[in-house]
């Protein structure tokens, strides 16, 4: 399956933006730092939301209220993460092509996003949702996002 995507990786590797980032010592670290800030924000928001779903924090606040409070920041940080992540990817697309952790990360990332905007969204928009199912959904959400983080960190190591 990766083989079919080779032209995409080759294209990404040769983009103007990829070349610009690769050509500078400074751009990659700076973009990477923004990537890190945004993921801290997102992970914190997801964690608080999931702890609420498990009934461990902010019990006095309805789930939907917590969701409304966190949503704008969650969406903004996700936007920054995806934009900065895509730029980092362009600058080393061929390295990513060969990287096992990168595949792992993308698998978890696409699953996490798909889950987040479907089942997860359905659950956090309801106040009287089944508690057991809420906990299960929270657990899946944390696992998926944690997988993204682990895979991401591992790209630099393996």
Partner 1 sequence: MQEVPAIIHWLQVSDIGTGIRESIWLFPIVETTHVLALSLSVGVLVWFDFRLLGLSMRHQPISQVHKQIMPFALIGFVLMFVTGILLFWSEAEKCYVSGFFRLKVLALVLAGVNAMIFEFTTKRSIEDWDKAPLPPRRVQIAGLMSLITWTLVIGAGRATAYNLF
Q: Which spans of this chain sit near partner 1 (rule: CB under 8 A)? A: 25-26, 29, 32-33, 36-37, 39-45, 47-48, 51, 57-58, 60-61, 65-66, 69-70, 73, 146, 149-150, 153-154, 157-158
How far is Cα of residue 40 from the mean position of the Cα atoms in its chain? Answer: 10
Based on CB atoms, which residue is closest to partner 1, 98 or 158? 158
74 or 134: CB nearest partner 1: 74
Cβ nearer to partner 1, comparing 95 with 118: 95
Q: Are 27 and 93 in contact (CB under 8 A)?
A: no
Residue with tokens 């998926």: 144
Nearest distance in Å: CB 6, partner 1: 28
* Nearest distance in Å: CB 77, partner 1: 10
Nearer to partner 1, 21 or 42 (CB): 42
Q: How far is the CB of 55 from partner 1 (least distance, A)?
A: 12
CA pair distance 12, 5, nearest whole angstrom: 11
Q: How far is the CB of 4 from partner 1 (least distance, A)?
A: 30
Query: What are the start-end ranges of the H helices in the chain?
Result: 6-14, 16-22, 27-53, 63-91, 93-97, 100-115, 121-124, 131-155
* Of residues 51, 69, 67, 70, the one with CA closest to residue 59: 51
Of 9 and 43, nearer to partner 1 (C-beta) is 43
Longest CA–CA span in the chain (Å) reads: 53
């Amino acid at each position: 399956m990766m083989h079919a995507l080779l032209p995409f990786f080759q294209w990404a590797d040769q983009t103007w933006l990829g070349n610009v980032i690769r050509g500078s010592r400074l751009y990659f670290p700076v973009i990477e730092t923004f990537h890190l800030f945004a993921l801290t924000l997102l992970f914190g928001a997801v964690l608080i939301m999931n702890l609420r779903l498990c009934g461990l924090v902010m019990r006095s606040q309805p789930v939907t209220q917590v969701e409304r409070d966190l949503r704008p920041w969650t969406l903004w940080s996700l936007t920054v993460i995806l934009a900065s992540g895509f730029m980092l990817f362009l600058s080393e697309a061929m390295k990513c092509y060969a990287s096992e952790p990168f595949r792992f990360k993308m698998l978890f990332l696409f699953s996490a996003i798909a889950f987040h905007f479907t089942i997860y969204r359905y659950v956090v928009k309801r106040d009287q949702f089944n508690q057991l199912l809420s906990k299960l959904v929270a657990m899946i959400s944390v696992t998926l996002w944690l997988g993204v983080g682990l895979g991401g960190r591992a790209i630099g190591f393996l």
